[in-house]
Amino acid sequence: MRKLGIALLFALPIALLCWACSLIFFAPAEPSFDWMSHMSVGEHDALVANLGHRFRVAAYVITWTIQLGYLAWLGLRWQAQKRAADRMNRNAR
């Protein structure tokens, strides 16, 4: 059960990072510089708002990915130190 928890703790940041990359790579293209000849101001604002929202969500997801990855790393380091302390206690007896 403990190994499953550790595996999930590592899988979650990887899944979040993949999701953030998909948000960025599959976002609609930014309008060209001559957008006024192709679309109305309302369409342009809706497209830019969608892009802004996607990039904001991707930034939050990447931030959470980094934080959860660091938490997983700390958990592994803590578990290794705990095992080393248990071994030292057993050898000292």
Per residue in 39-67, pLDDT (tens digit) is 788 887 888 888 888 888 888 988 988 88
Confirm whether 80 is domain-assigned.
yes
Confirm whether 64 is domain-assigned.
yes
Is the confidence at residue 84, as pLDDT, over 80? yes
The span from the CA of 65 to the CA of 16, in Å, is: 6
- The pLDDT, as a whole number, for residue 93 is 67
Confirm whether 29 is domain-assigned.
no
Domain hosting residue 58, numbered range? 13-24+41-88
Number of domains in the chain: 1
Confirm whether 1 is domain-assigned.
no
Confirm whether 2 is domain-assigned.
no
pTM (2 d.p.): 0.62
3-state DSSP of 11-67: HHHHHHHHHHHHHHHCCCCCCCCCHHHCCCHHHHHHHHHHHHHHHHHHHHHHHHHHH
